[in-house]
Structures are given as structure tokens and as C-alpha cells.
A and B are shown apart, each in its own frame.
Chain A
């Protein structure tokens, strides 16, 4: 039979393992590249939002193409991460890519409410994608304007 002190130590060790492993899984190997990739996607989302506000529906398919290209930055960023984590990122990225495609498809209707709904759906999927990474690396849609934009225009 184990002594109580040993049991407590083992229990504490198991608890620490359970806490540390998920934290490590969320810490990517190339944080700067991840941050850049997420910022690129969030920047393109911001551009989509401005096009929608300006009623530039015909430019939205091009933004979708840019979103697809920008996703390459995030794929490259997690290329050296463990397969399980990469799979999670890939699944979330696919959701976002499908949502961006939906924005492009709905833009053909020139219906602001439909395109807005598609854009909101894209924002939700991007939030899920961001949630896979530590908060310091995230760039959620609508929050991408870099801090240096606040100078005089």
C-alpha cells in the first residue's frame, strides 16, 4: 500500500502534467510566424468589411482569393508543430476558408444583409481559429488595425 505522502506527490505530478501538456500544445514552435499569419487573415477580413461598407461587392471575390493566399502564411507557421496540433489548425482554417468563400458567393447577390451574415460567420470561424493559439498571438477580426495607424491623417 502506498504511503499518503507518495500518493499526494503522484497526484500532484499527474495534475501538473494535465495542466502543462495542453499549455505546451497551444504554444507553437514559430510564434512570430503564427502572429503574422493571424494578422494577415484578420487584415483581409478588415478589408472585406470596408468593401462591404462601401458597397464594393464586386471586389469581395478578390478578397476571398487574398484570404486563401494569406492562409498559406498560417500553414507555413505551424508546419513544424506536432501533427495533432497541425490537424486542429488545419480543420479550423478550412472552416474559415469555407466561410470566406461564402462571403464571395453571397457578394454576387449584392444583398447587404446576406453578405453581412456571411461576414459574421467568417468572423466566428476566425475566432475559433484564434482560440487555438495563446492570446498574445491572436488577431481576431475587427481588432487588426495595428497600433501605429493612429497617427495624423
Chain B
């Protein structure tokens, strides 16, 4: 009967040194991650009264942040719904056009549109709605209202900064 011996393991001084250094570093990295979880950011935005515009029309947040955005419809006279829809860079115009052609039943935002990153439900005057999303990679992301016809003038930019 032949007995197979396990291969011999050579323990070098360099190997011991590498393990001795990397293990604590790994621990430190884990601790750093635990101490800095994804940043939470609250963003507020509103309509400009009854005008077709966002106030403010520029927002900012760090990449990877957990964002809670609240939209306030500050209109007083006109019963038009608004929403807040975040799109991929360069896609706002196409989304606005798709919304213009979509039906009211689809809440204007084309269903499961890959160009849409986040969207609030429609909001009536005097009301507020919100949406939670994770901020994408650094860059400028357009947002707009997808009520038909509004996106052409009611839009803005979310600046995502490096985390």
C-alpha cells in the first residue's frame, strides 16, 4: 500500500512578514468601511410656484450616497401635476419626448425605461412626493418633469461629485 504524502509547505521569513503586515491592514480596511457607511443625503426641490421650472435647478450629492429626495409642488393656481425624474447623461430630451408620447396611465415616465435612474410619483399642487435612490458614479445627470410638454422647459442637473 502506497501512502501519499501531502506536499511539503515551505515557510519563508518573507512569507511570514507579508502575512504579518497584511492581516492587520485588512482589519483596518474593514474597520474603515464600517466607520464610513454610504453617506445619507437629503435633497429638497420644488416647482417654481405655477411656473414650469424647478427651484433650484441644480442639485449636488456625492457618488454612492443614499439619497432621499423630496419634491414640493408649490403651485397655487394651476392644477398640473409634476414629477422629478433623473435620467442618464444625454437622455433627458429623449425621455421628455417619450413621456410626451406616453399615456397618462403610464404616469408619463415610460415603464422600466433604462434611461431613467430614479423617479418620484406624480405630484399634485400643494403636495409633496419623495424618492430614495443611490447616487450614481460621478458626473452630471439631467432631471426633468415628465408631465407631457413640461420636460422641454422644466429640467435641471444633479451634479454627482466623487465620494
| A contacts, CB < 8 Å to B | 36, 39-40, 43-44, 46-47, 50-51, 54, 56, 59, 65-66, 69-70, 72-73, 144-146, 148-149, 151-153
Contact = CB atoms under 8 A, between A and B. Distances in A.
A148 B77 CA distance: 22
A65 B80 CA distance: 10
B100 interface: yes
A43 to B, nearest CB: 5
Size range of the interface on B? 20 to 34
A56 to B, nearest CB: 6
B2 interface: no
Given A54-B100, A73-B77, A47 B92 contact: no
Given A54-B100, A66-B80, A70-B50, A153 B57 contact: no
Interface stretch (B6-14, B24-32, B59-67, B145-153): B145-153
B155 A149 contact: yes
A87 B126 CA distance: 31
Contact of B152 (A50, A56, A72): A50
Contacts, number: 72
B129 interface: no
Given A54-B100, A151-B156, A70 B142 contact: no
Interface of B: 48-53, 57-58, 76-80, 90, 92-93, 100-101, 140, 142, 144, 148-150, 152-153, 155-157
B100 A151 contact: no
Contacts of A69: 77-79
A50 B149 contact: yes
Contacts of A59: 148-149
A54 B108 CA distance: 15
A36 B157 contact: no
A151 B51 contact: no
Contact of B157 (A39, A54, A65, A152): A152
A47 B58 CA distance: 23
Contact of B77 (A46, A47, A72): A72
Contact of A65 (B50, B53, B79, B144): B79
